[in-house]
Amino acid sequence: MARLISIVIGAAFVFVLAIALFGTAKTAITEPAAESAEHVFHLHPENIGLPSAGLFGKFDRQQVQRGFAVYKEVCAACHSLKYVAFRDLTKIGYTDAEVKAIANQWVIEQPSVNPDTGEATTRKNLPSDHFPSPFANEVAARAANNNALPPDLSLITKAREDGPNYVHALITGYRNQPAELLKEFPGAKTPPGLHYNPYFANLNIAMPPPLTADGQVTYSDGTKATKDQMARDVSAFLTWTAEPNLEARHAAGLAAVIFLVIFVFLTWGAYQNVWRGVEH
């Protein structure tokens, strides 16, 4: 009897779920949700073809160094790089002496404590230090940025879909709000203090355009610093900060594939040798 009751209860539960699923599907078909401005006018980034992309991608260290220059001159005023140490820059071609000079001359110093008075103070950066945050805490960061919190950029190309392409598109994507958007969605006007950018999730971003003119950064290798070039270079640099071991990972993957191919042929050869002349 108890078994029969449990079967009836289970069947009733399945029946209710089926009715709910049918009702949801019917509503979705007959009364589709209205499209939002974000859905209609949001754009997807184009592939910028960084050398690090693809199965055999490698970093162009000269480009990554140029990207570091863009970060240093443009992005570091608001965005932290807390998972990267100054000494990591040796992996992109800087010498130990250059890294020491970069750390020592970095505008933002490391927080410290005066051993004599116990009061808070600062000290020069060392190569072993991580890049210091431009703000003392989250409250200070929001106060300086219209209550928006600038994200840390260490892993930004891994945290965003289509990371490097997204970073490039976002930096270069600022524009005036199209008249078609306001005509179709009158209530979607960009609020004061925000900036229209179709590559941002909700179309309006608190960060003002970081690259405002060609030549904003001077490249030591003589490359012409157009806005597009600077955006590409900083995207390459942030790809490196997110995946500093990308080249080693690609090499290990290639070695594994080659090993598996050789192993398959050896196994096939052993099979042919063992079962040669044996009738099945």
Task: State yes or no: pLDDT of 37 exceeds 80.
Answer: no
Task: State yes or no: pLDDT of 27 exceeds 90.
Answer: no
Mean per-residue pLDDT for 148-173?
96
Report yes or no: 51 and 59 within 8 Å, Cβ to Cβ: yes
pLDDT in tens, 200-234: 999 999 999 999 999 999 999 999 999 999 999 99
pLDDT of res. 55? 84
pLDDT of res. 176? 93
Task: State yes or no: pLDDT of 167 exceeds 80.
Answer: yes
pLDDT in tens, 58-101: 999 999 999 999 999 999 999 999 999 999 999 999 999 999 99
pLDDT of res. 171? 97
pLDDT of res. 118? 77
Known binding residue 195? Answer is: no
Mean per-residue pLDDT for 247-265?
92
Q: What is the pTM of this model?
A: 0.83
pLDDT of res. 186? 83
pLDDT of res. 111? 84
pLDDT of res. 32? 55
**What is the pLDDT confidence band of residue 160, given thresholds at 50, 70 and 90?**
very high
Known binding residue 230? Answer is: no
pLDDT of res. 15? 77
C-alpha distances (whole Å) from 59 to each of 23, 98, 131 are 53, 20, 21
The single residue listed with the structure tokens 């009364």 is 31
Distance CA 81, CA 161 (A): 19
pLDDT of res. 59? 96
Tokens of 95: 């010498």
DSSP alpha helix (H) spans, 31-148: 37-41, 61-70, 96-105, 138-143
Known binding residue 75? Answer is: yes
CB atoms within 10 A of CB 93: 13
Triad 13, 16, 19: Cα angle to 5°: 150
Task: State yes or no: pLDDT of 10 exceeds 60.
Answer: yes
Mean per-residue pLDDT for 133-138?
93
DSSP alpha helix (H) spans, 185-245: 227-242
Task: State yes or no: pLDDT of 23 exceeds 80.
Answer: no
pLDDT of res. 168? 98
